[in-house]
């Protein structure tokens, strides 16, 4: 039993969020959006509009009470397929190089609803990524750069039509919108946690708190967006973190992360939400050529540009391009594919009554690190 507990917490340790110099955006990793290149700034994404582009709030449909997703990197299977030789598995998976991956869990707290042109959301998610590497310093060992990022909060937004008539057509419309999020973020950092330290842990919770130094911060951030639509084309633009409160972290304890246990600030964690913007265009059509509507319909083709100001993690211009394609097969199956950080994404969804089941496979690149990932989600939309 003790060995089982050890491997459970070892699994947890190696999947603590990998943070960058800038704070992560406040956008949950929605699996359906990932399947189509993680696009959403130039098209209606319903319950996701509040996060991607609040101008689409008027287009939102349904009432979501659950949106639970789980995603993980392929290297996790390679590392944990044989716990009895875990260290050797890590070495074999690394192949002499460092390796990057993560676990993502969104929900189960996710409530979203719209009243007229106002949308509200209650959310909880964390994106746990890691970097595993071998080093001779301070002693020969396998190490992990581990960090933890947990977000829980509430958000609200509103959108309004604006009088933009370029062609004077009844198929022409434009909206502006804004969203505000109040949230708690918990993160913890250890850039060099050795395998030997992990294997020698006594009390897992004490180990996590001692080695990772968790801290919590309360903050808010403000997004704004705009979209213009003419017939089949929609152009959208969003500005993220236009106004946000600096992230000041105070010590907390795992698992009681809802309160601070000291008034002494963790100055090394101090950061802010980065001001950034995204824009793109989506072409939508009910059908293509002579393809029967019973076979395939509702085609969407999107090309968008994200993380414009992030030159640290995505210095290459092509890293900022996202492409998404989506269609509906036989009225219930969603087929998706796209391009995300210069890597292909594939997704499939199945709608039955109020349940939506989605899966996606994609590669993610951050800096020099790349991971192949698989994700699943279940949502209930009324």
pTM of the model: 0.84
> In a 10 Å sphere around its CB, with 0-12 CB exposed, 13-18 middle and 19+ buried, how is residue 140 labelled?
exposed
Going from the N-terminus, what domains does the chain have, and what CATH number goes with each? 2-381 (2.40.160)
pLDDT 10s digits, 351-370: 888 899 999 998 877 666 67
Q: Is the pLDDT of residue 87 over 70?
A: no
Arithmetic mean of pLDDT, 72-80:
67
Tell me which of 2-11, 62-71, 100-109, 188-197 is least confident: 2-11
3-state secondary structure 258-278: CCCCCCCCCHHHCECCCCEEE
CB-CB neighbours of 38 under 10 Å: 25
Return the residue matching tokens 């946000």.
Answer: 244
């Amino acid at each position: 039993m003790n060995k089982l507990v050890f491997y459970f917490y070892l699994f947890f340790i190696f999947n603590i969020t990998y943070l960058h110099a800038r704070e992560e955006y406040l956008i949950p990793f929605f699996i359906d959006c990932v399947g189509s290149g993680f696009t959403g700034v130039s098209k209606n994404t319903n319950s996701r509009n509040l996060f991607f582009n609040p101008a689409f709030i008027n287009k939102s449909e349904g009432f979501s009470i659950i949106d639970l997703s789980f995603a993980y990197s392929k290297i996790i299977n390679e590392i944990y397929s044989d716990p009895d030789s875990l260290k050797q598995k890590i070495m074999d998976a690394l192949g002499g190089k460092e390796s990057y991956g993560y676990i993502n869990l969104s929900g189960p707290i996710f409530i979203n609803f719209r009243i007229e042109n106002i949308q509200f959301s209650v959310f909880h998610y964390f994106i746990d990524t890691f970097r595993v590497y071998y080093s001779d310093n301070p002693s020969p060992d396998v190490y992990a750069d581990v960090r933890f990022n947990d977000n829980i909060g509430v958000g609200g937004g509103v959108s309004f039509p604006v009088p933009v008539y370029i062609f004077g057509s009844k198929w022409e419309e434009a909206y502006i919108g804004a969203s505000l999020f109040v949230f708690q973020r918990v993160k913890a950092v250890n850039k060099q946690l050795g395998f030997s330290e992990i294997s020698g842990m006594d009390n897992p919770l004490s180990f996590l708190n001692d080695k990772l130094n968790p801290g919590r911060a309360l903050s808010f951030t403000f997004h704004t967006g705009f979209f213009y639509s003419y017939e089949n084309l929609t152009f959208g633009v969003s500005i993220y973190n236009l106004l946000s409160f600096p992230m000041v972290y105070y010590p907390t304890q795992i698992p009681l992360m809802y309160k601070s246990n000291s008034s002494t600030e963790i100055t090394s964690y101090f950061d802010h939400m980065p001001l950034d913007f995204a824009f793109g265009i989506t072409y939508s059509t009910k059908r293509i050529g002579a393809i029967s509507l019973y076979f395939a319909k509702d085609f969407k083709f999107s090309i968008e540009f994200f993380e414009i100001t992030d030159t640290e993690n995505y210095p290459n211009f092509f890293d900022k391009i996202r492409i998404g394609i989506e269609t509906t097969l036989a009225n219930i199956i969603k087929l998706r594919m796209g391009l995300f950080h210069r890597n292909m994404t594939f997704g499939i969804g199945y709608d039955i009554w109020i349940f939506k089941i989605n899966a996606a496979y994609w590669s993610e690149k951050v800096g020099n690190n790349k991971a192949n990932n698989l994700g699943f989600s279940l949502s209930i939309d009324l």
